[in-house]
Amino acid sequence: MATRVVTITQAKAELSELIDYALQGEEVIITRADKPLVRLVPWRPRTDRTPGAWKGRVRIAEDFDKVTAEDAADWYGDLP
């Protein structure tokens, strides 16, 4: 896969060409002051999500949100 790197000014002038380039699967990076800002990629619709798809597959421990003295010392240091 080839990568094409262009400035914002070039991207404004060549937008249609860059879109075609991205649609063919090539990477297009747009830069400002030689720093990459964005990557132009084809739009893909989101896949439908199924509510509850993970039901019964994930378990949260009963003590998940319990804070011990050792935890508090790790997070906040020794308190007076």
The two three-digit tokens of residue 70, written as one number: 């050792």
pLDDT in the model for residue 18: 97
Give, as one character, the DSSP assignment of residue 3. E
Give the model's pLDDT for residue 79. 64
DSSP string, 20-66: HHHHTT-EEEEEETTEEEEEE----PPPPP-TTTTTTT----TTTT-
pLDDT digits (tens, 9 = 90+) for 3-57: 999 999 999 999 999 999 999 999 999 999 999 999 999 998 888 888 998 999 9
pLDDT for the residue numbered 11: 97
Mean pLDDT of 50-77: 90
- The values of phi and psi at residue 56, to 5°, are 80, -5
Enter the tokens of residue 67: 């804070």
Going along the chain from its start, the domains and CATH numbers come out as 3-40 (3.40.1620.10)
Amino acid 4: pLDDT = 95
Q: Please tell me the pTM assigned to this model.
A: 0.56
